[in-house]
Chains A and B, each alone.
Chain A
Amino acid sequence: MTTDVQANPAANPAVDESTPLIEVKDLHVWFELKKWGFSHVGWVRAVDNVNFQLKHGEAIAIVGESGCGKSSLMKTLLLLNRPHKGQVIYEGKDISNLKGKDLKWYRSQVGYVQQDPYGALPPFMPVHRILSEPLVINGVKNKKEREERIRQAMEEVALTPVDDFLNKYPHMLSGGQQQRVVIARAMILEPKLLVADEPVSMLDASVRVEILRLLRKLQEQHNLSVMYITHDLSTVRFFSERIFVMYAGKLVEQTHIEKLLNNPLHPYTVALLTGTSVPDASNAKHLKHVPPGEPPSLVNPPTGCRFHPRCEHFISGKCDVQEPPHLEPLPGHIVNCWLYEDGRTSYPKVASE
């Protein structure tokens, strides 16, 4: 591979592959709500007490509905938001407060494929310029080296023949091609972590599959760690081993994908699985058994378990009062729900159906 982007001022020489790439501890991302621009009226608790580790080369999917805090969590990993409380640790080093040069270096280590490809690309820049910008900013001064890396990145995301695309502006590209440019840009500094925030939600079914396969190929070839954010459970098996389910700012279930699909524990996870359709004509014959209502406000989230107002197993006097702890009813299967306090290991059947 080509030379290092820059000397690595923040890196810890002692790290090896057994140190997690990223560790998130007690992370809180809150946004202050102000009235008239100054007087404090409250907090949007977008991410509340989140803990996890991401290993080198591992892919984790985060699933949850709109507004549950997925992007806020990711932007904090990218240091686009700062933690309100808690730590983000990169290769053993707390990076929550990085500044200046160190921050620039850290950002070169994480690639970001943001939500909404249409808004992600500057409309007035041709592809060539979009891809050379990060190289210039990160001090790749040699023009020939830049050209080479741009070509290499474009070939990797199959924007070929490269010469056909170099001078095109975003609006001349299809949605799928635009997303390839976004991915090429995210990969061009050879990051160790790729954050993909809903990379396919705006695309057609077939193009979705194309892009997901591309991301999987990149992950495998570069031993990349990936955080894949989605609201579509049926795409998570594509390239992640573990999955986190997020509801109203909290991780409510964390486990391996197959375990989650075959033995979902949290009532919210069960609802998401029930809500996900597979193409089948019999679907039209009955109603879906999904919880009514909508996710709560994160300014005044429900007390106790945040899902309790929508939960069919809600235990009065408990779920609405006390926050459920981290429970591990089965090895490697973590759930935050009072139902599993007594050692039960599967979701209780609902009598009414």
Chain B
Amino acid sequence: MNDNTLLKLEDLVLYFKTSRGEVQAVDHVNLELHKNKAVVILGESGCGKSSMAKAILRLLPRNVGQYHGKVLLEDFDVMSLSDEEFRRQVRWVKMSMVPQAAMNALNPVLRAGEQVAEPAMIHLGMDKEEALDLARQMFENVGVPVDFLTRYPFELSGGMRQRVAIAMALITKPQLIVLDEPTSALDLLTQANIMNVLKTIKWETGTSYILITHDIATSSELADEVAVMYAGQIVEINDAESFFQEPLHPYSQRLMASVPRLYGDEEPDFIPGRPPSLLNPPTGCRFADRCHLRFDKCDEEPPTFIVDGHPVKCWLYEKNHQAVESAATGTGDAS
């Protein structure tokens, strides 16, 4: 970990208990995020993106089966905090979240301005007037007209409500904001405008983002780094430059090839088959039965190889590449 590291996840696990067994939604995830950078988490529906966000912010449902690993925020493992300490010291204060479908989750009976002001009152101890002043400033930052401060959510368009949800996450000035599908239900131009807002905020305030999305093209609007998730695991982490030109993991390659382009002759192609169940995932490479490059070795679970500095969980890179040591095999942390 160097000085620039803001967040580091080590073997983060979040499994859910169900009547049919444990859902391995987040399965030994390792990830590092630097200050003032944005990492994009890409992957198909159900691969565990939102669960990973919930695991980072400890926003857990009742049916948690397993929840462990490290969440290091500037070198301090916030997993060691009690729930109460986490709520007071970390959530909103150091990292906040714009949850999936946030625009439909605003409190219907609270005016937009009060809604945005609330975290500042609760977590920064501001009085109402102060907090509303700050909310006004946030409205300006996210491009909501300030006379909307006194409107109720139902009086706002979807795009405006989404901006309000972003303003709410911003107001406590956290170092990290987790954005779960912040634009996916929105129109193209609204989407582009909100991406502009997020970029501007990043450039001006030095904040960092984890951007969760299944929209590959839009993700490139913000990404410094890309982490690809498949069936609960991260299969590739790469810098945006390399990733969008030449992704390494076969799944990433197929994912990129499925994106329709405005120009050019390339026809998008689909990935045959479907991701495996997370109740009982295959023991080998989880992508194996959909993979165009599969070979004998793939019946065994691949370790993560470091390819020019980029972690890739695929046997194709075994030759000439070092595998990372991981506690994933169950030996745990010896220290």
Contacts and interface: CB of A to CB of B under 8 A. Distances in A.
A208 interface: yes
Nearest to A295: B187
Contacts of A81: none
Contacts of A65: 187-190
B262 A233 contact: yes
A276 B262 contact: yes
Nearest to A288: B192
A66 B38 CA distance: 29
A279 B243 CA distance: 10
Interface string A76-91: 0000000000000000
Nearest to A235: B260
Given A65-B189, A233-B262, A206 B196 contact: no
B221 interface: yes
Contacts of A281: 220, 223, 239-241, 243-245
Contacts of A233: 188, 262
A288 B224 CA distance: 17
A234 B217 CA distance: 10
B45 A175 contact: yes
A163 to B, nearest CB: 19
A288 B262 contact: no
Contact of B222 (A175, A261, A284): A284
Interface size class of B (residues with CB under 8 A): 35 or more
Nearest to A203: B45
Interface stretch (A19-27, A52-60, A96-104, A267-275): A267-275
A231 B255 contact: no
B193 A292 contact: yes
Interface stretch (B56-64, B123-131, B267-275): B267-275
A232 interface: yes
Nearest to B241: A281
Nearest to B200: A287
Contacts of B243: 281
B187 A206 contact: no
B240 A284 contact: yes
Nearest to A205: B258
B76 to A, nearest CB: 29
B44 interface: yes
Interface in B196-233: 196, 199-200, 214-224
B268 A209 contact: yes
Chain A binding surface, main DSSP class? helix
A277 interface: yes
B262 A205 contact: no
Given A281-B223, A290-B193, A210 B270 contact: yes
Given A209-B268, A234-B260, A280-B244, A275 B188 contact: yes
Contacts of A175: 45
B195 interface: yes
A206 B258 contact: yes
A1 interface: no
Contacts of A234: 217, 259-262
Given A174-B274, A281-B241, A284-B199, A209 B260 contact: yes
B263 interface: yes
A291 B189 contact: yes
A208 B44 CA distance: 12
Interface string B170-196: 000000000000000001111111011
B297 to A, nearest CB: 25
A274 B196 CA distance: 13
A278 B266 CA distance: 13
B270 A278 contact: no
B276 interface: no
A275 B158 contact: no
B237 interface: no
Interface of B: 38, 44-45, 143, 157-160, 187-193, 195-196, 199-200, 214-224, 239-241, 243-245, 254-256, 258-263, 268-271, 274
9 contacts: A175-B45, A206-B254, A209-B270, A234-B259, A276-B188, A281-B243, A284-B224, A294-B189, A295-B187
